Amino acid sequence: MMLELQPNFHEPGRQHRCAFPPGDDFFNLLLEAHRDLTVEQSAMVNARLILLLANHIGNLAVLREAMEIARDGR
């Protein structure tokens, strides 16, 4: 399995009109997770989130690929 780099956000049972990518809901969730937090608290939320999602993905090859892109920024 390769790292998914095509748009992949979705929510079963929910209709999205073409003008509003379902990723908007994701990004809003993410901002809400950080709302009103200090810089340190935000960093901790990010760290926990990465660990949770990394375990969910599980496949080290995929995680390695994601980490390389994240570190390079592209």
Partner 1 sequence: MLRTYRSPRYEYRTPPELHERANVRYPVVVVGAGPVGLVAAIDLAQSGTPVVLVDEDDTVSTGSRGICYAKRTLEILDRLGVGDDCIAKGVSWNVGRTFLGRDEVYSFDLQRQSGHKRPGMVNLQQYYLEEYLIRRALALQCLDLRFKSRVVGVAPEADGMVLKIQTPDGEYSLRASWLVAADGARSGIRRKLGLDIDGQVFPDRFLIADVTMKGTLPPERRFWFDPPFHRNKSVLLHRQADDVWRIDFQLDPEADADTEKKPDRVMRRIRAMFGDEREFELEWVSVYTFQSRRMPCFRHGRVVFVGDAAHQVSPFGARGANSGIQDADNLCWKLRLVLEGRAPEALLDTYSEERVLAADENIRHSNRSMDFIAPRPGAALTLRNAVLELARDHEFARPLVNSGRLSVPTILSESRLNTADGGAFAGAMVPGAPLDDAPVSVSGRAGWLLDHVQGRFTVLYYVDDEPADGDVQQAAMVQALAGAVVPLEVVPIARRGHPGAGASSVLEDSEGRFAERYDALHGTTYLVRPDQHACGRWRTFRPESLLAALARATCNAPATGSP
Degrees, nearest 5: CA angle 63-67-68: 120
Q: How far is the CB of 59 from partner 1 (least distance, A)?
A: 17
- Please give the Cα distance from 25 to 9 (Å, whole number): 9
Site for partner 1 contains 46 (CB under 8 A)? yes
User: How many Å separate Cα 26 from the centre of its chain?
Assistant: 8
Q: How far is the CB of 55 from partner 1 (least distance, A)?
A: 21
Binding track, positions 6-45, relative to partner 1; x by CB under 8 A = xxxx-----x-xxxxx-xx-xxx-xx--x--x-x--x--x
